[in-house]
Amino acid sequence: MKKAILILAPLVLILTFFIVVKIGNSPVSSDPKAKDFIINKGEGLVSIATRLETNSFIKNKYIFLYDVYISGLRDQIPSGKFRLSQNIPTYDIVKKLSQGGSSDYWVRIIEGTRVEEITPRFSKTYEGYLFPDSYLIPEYYNPDEILKVISDNFDKKFAQAKKDSTTPLSDKQVVILASLLEREARTLETKKMIAGIIMNRFNIGMGLQIDATIQYLRDTLKKPKDYWAPIKSGDIDIVSPYNTYKNRGLPPGPICNPGYDSLYAAFHPTDSDYMYYITDHDGIMHYAKTNLEHSANVNKYLK
């Protein structure tokens, strides 16, 4: 009898072990929705297993570790981002992790660029609203999902820039003004000063006479090899609502995608009596209150 018990006991233990492994390997749920799981560089298997269990991707971290060792994949789980769901058995999660993470990629939007310079996939309706920044985009994102990431960032930065502003301009007008500032100045202080000058002209119905708007309409009519080339004398005769030499007020839409400083400056222009400005060959700004003073600055710094 004792001999039979001794023989049976190991069999019971083995059977129990395989039942536990089978149950432990079963999916956490039937939910197919995938979520991101990131394995950090140099992270150990125990840490990975613990986080998988904590985030409900697996039922038991020890079963995961067992599967890893049994499958011989203990040294083949790299760092990276993975898309996992709760309806995957633990041993399939091990295989998925060993195959490497997704190939996410960075997208950088540079201040002052047009939509066409960023990507041909987005329409012109997004001009001014593709907030300049660096974005880590999952490889499986479609254009609408990418736009959502950028749009959410724009909304956040726009709200920050708007804080404590008393501008009479609408939100759309602010984006248009910011796009002009992005092409006209470099530093926050000069952008704020030019914003004030543009508003001075705007308030008295004076033409804004901004070269960047001419560059924009010219390059829109005929796609150039290089955008934003200096304007030529004939360019200011182009008939377009974007021609701020021929039309009063702001152009009908943004001319580029402005960064945070430009948005902030558009919301917080510097008050002054200046009506004119130029940028000399060294990038230094010079301001004038009258046309006579402006002509003197042109002769002194640009000739």
Question: End-to-end alpha-carbon separation of the chain, Å?
Answer: 113
CATH of domain 21-98: 3.30.1490.480
pLDDT in tens, 14-39: 655 556 566 768 898 989 998 989 88
214 neighbors 236 (Cβ within 8 angstroms): yes
- Residue 139 pLDDT level (bands cut at 50, 70, 90): confident
214 neighbors 245 (Cβ within 8 angstroms): yes
Q: Of 221, 226, 264, which Cα lies nearest the Cα of 113? A: 226
Three-point CA angle 274, 279, 282, nearest 5°: 140
- Per-chain mean pLDDT for the chain: 91
Q: How far apart are CA 192 and CA 122, in angstroms?
A: 30
List the chain domain ranges. Answer: 21-98, 105-150, 161-301
170 neighbors 266 (Cβ within 8 angstroms): no
Q: Which amino acid is at 102?
A: S
Task: Give the Å distances, CA to CA, from 151 to 77, 129, 165.
Answer: 35, 7, 21
SS3 content of the chain, % helix, strand, coil (to 5): 50, 10, 45
Task: Give the Å distances, CA to CA, from 245 to 175, 192, 209.
Answer: 20, 22, 5
Compute φ and ψ for 30, nearest 5 degrees. -95, 5
Q: How far apart are CA 182 and CA 128, in angstroms?
A: 10
Three-state secondary structure string covering 15-83: HHHHHHHHHHHCCCCCCCCCEEEEECCCCCHHHHHHHHHHCCCCCCHHHHHHHHHHHCCCCCCCCEEEE
Q: Strands 276-279 and 285-288, how do they pair?
A: antiparallel
Q: What is the mean pLDDT of residues 236-262?
A: 97
**With 90 as the cut, is the pLDDT of residue 105 above it?**
no
**Phi-psi sector, 185: left (phi>0), alpha (psi -120 to 50), beta:** beta
pLDDT in tens, 53-77: 999 999 999 999 999 998 888 788 8
- pLDDT given for residue 42 in this prediction: 84
Of 43-57, 70-84, 128-142, 282-296, the poorest mean pLDDT is in 70-84
- pLDDT given for residue 140 in this prediction: 79
Q: What is the mean pLDDT of residues 155-170?
A: 98
Residue 197: strand, helix, or coil: helix
- pLDDT given for residue 184 in this prediction: 95
Q: Of 182, 173, 165, which Cα lies nearest the Cα of 131? A: 182
298 neighbors 278 (Cβ within 8 angstroms): yes
pLDDT in tens, 185-211: 999 999 999 999 999 999 999 999 999
